[in-house]
Structure 1
């Protein structure tokens, strides 16, 4: 006969083990589902953080691009400023060099004129006294009309500032007679347009070239082919725009 007690105990043990296994399986399933849910939450949180970081990165990148463009613009402006400074420095140096050349030329002209004056004074001192007196007498005779009227003309101009200049021209007529007497001829006419000739003209203009068209501002004088005073010329007349 089968011992029912042992059979019952075995059945109970089997049922108990089955229940334990079922419970254990359920717990494992719940644990796995919890882990899965937790992983999804973590992934969801990581995704949001990544998007936020991506947006921040895009903003930083945009700021960096803008800053780079500003730096390039500033570098361009700096280069332009440097170029202008170099150009202004070159122009200043050129102007300084030209001024130095003009000063040197003027000093040479002054030195030449001083030498001529000394030579003329020496020549005059060597002339016989009677010859000098005769020359002074003849010169006075030619200038006496002008010398007689000149003081009166000064008073008239002083008392009447609006006194017409044309009324003074007849008083200067003796000068034409003197020039004719001494065979002195004028070089050019006032405001006449001529070709620049360094032999008979002088100017304070820069870089004038021979045969360039100029205007006579002040006439010069020559005597028997000898230049006594070169005529002063300029590129423009008074009041004209140089440009």
Structure 2
């Protein structure tokens, strides 16, 4: 076996976690088989930290253990637990220091990315709230007064209050691309994909009456319209 062939070592670790082939390891770790070949050849110092982390997780061993096991030290020496020579120790130490530095850099980059995502999320939420408030402006400003007048005068016709709610709601749904499925009281052919029977039975294509409207957003069904036999 060539000095830098770590294949048997890798196969032993794979066997312990039930991974039967290098292709299966590639899938489990989410890395290419070329990276696994580098590991088999002991080229740890040529591999990125994120690749090594994925492999260590798939093999269920610590990162430093993976580095020691597959560093450019004879696998025979690894198996026999022979102490490395000083030159080998120096190479391994330098490799570990470089990997630790890369890990620290990755951690910092991850934290920066998380902060940027959080700031972006807050900004999008503020923009969404602002847009929604603009669409509902007339409802927000007029509804409290209309509700108070309705309490003071029970005889006030409800038809005068309905537009205060209906128009802003229609504007909001239109802005979001949400469309109503039929309208209340409409008699339409029954389609079980878009309609939900509240009572009785109906055959597809049979005429039913809409009791409660449904909604869809583009091709996506949000709520089926509730119907009953006409």
TM, length-normalised to structure 2? 0.45
Greater gyration radius: 1
Higher relative contact order (CA 8 A, sep 6+): 2
- Greater helix content: 1
TM, length-normalised to structure 1? 0.43
